[in-house]
């Protein structure tokens, strides 16, 4: 038996309003929705350097930069920041003034200060390796549930 939900998912013109009518999301419906999203991303998605890396430090830097900052601004600063401070150790050792100079243009300097404090903790308590534990990550300055997840 074909449900309205399945009909909506088969329709290539499906929009978000169609999904408001769905009463129950079955695993099959979720899988089909995921397929639609991935398909859309393959066709229209933008490429960013932080999506091309598995380096936890690079990803954490991008997460901090992207908080309340337009993506285009982050793209302009990301490589400079990573080149200047390539890992947690270099960021932890750097003078705050130098970090803020490189950060300039992104706004919300507290994020840069939190990144430095986080790097110091990771270097001194975790030997320069970012823990993967969700609860531990949330204890670092400036890292909440969204960034830790």
The region, left, alpha or beta by phi > 0 then psi within -120 to 50, assigned to residue 68 is left
Residue 94, C-beta contacts closer than 8 angstroms, at least 6 positions apart = 84, 85, 116
CB 69 within 8 A of CB 99: no
How far apart CA 113 and CA 96 sit, in angstroms, is: 7
Concerning whether 63 is annotated as a catalytic residue, the answer is yes
How far apart CA 118 and CA 9 sit, in angstroms, is: 43
| Options 63, 72, 101, 135, the catalytic residue | 63
Which positions are annotated as active-site residues? 63
């Amino acid at each position: 038996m074909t449900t309205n939900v399945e009909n909506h998912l088969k329709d290539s013109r499906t929009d978000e309003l169609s999904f408001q009518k769905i009463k129950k999301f079955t695993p099959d419906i979720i899988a089909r929705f995921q397929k639609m999203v991935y398909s859309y991303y393959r066709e229209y998605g933008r490429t960013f350097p932080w999506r091309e890396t598995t380096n936890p430090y690079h990803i954490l830097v991008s997460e901090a930069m992207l908080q309340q900052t337009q993506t285009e601004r982050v793209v302009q600063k990301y490589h400079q920041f990573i080149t200047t401070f390539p890992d947690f150790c270099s960021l932890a050792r750097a003078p705050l003034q130098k970090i803020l100079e490189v950060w300039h243009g992104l706004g919300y300097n507290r994020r840069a200060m939190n990144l430095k404090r986080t790097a110091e903790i990771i270097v001194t308590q975790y030997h320069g390796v970012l823990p993967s534990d969700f609860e531990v990550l949330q204890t670092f300055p400036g890292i909440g549930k969204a960034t830790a997840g």
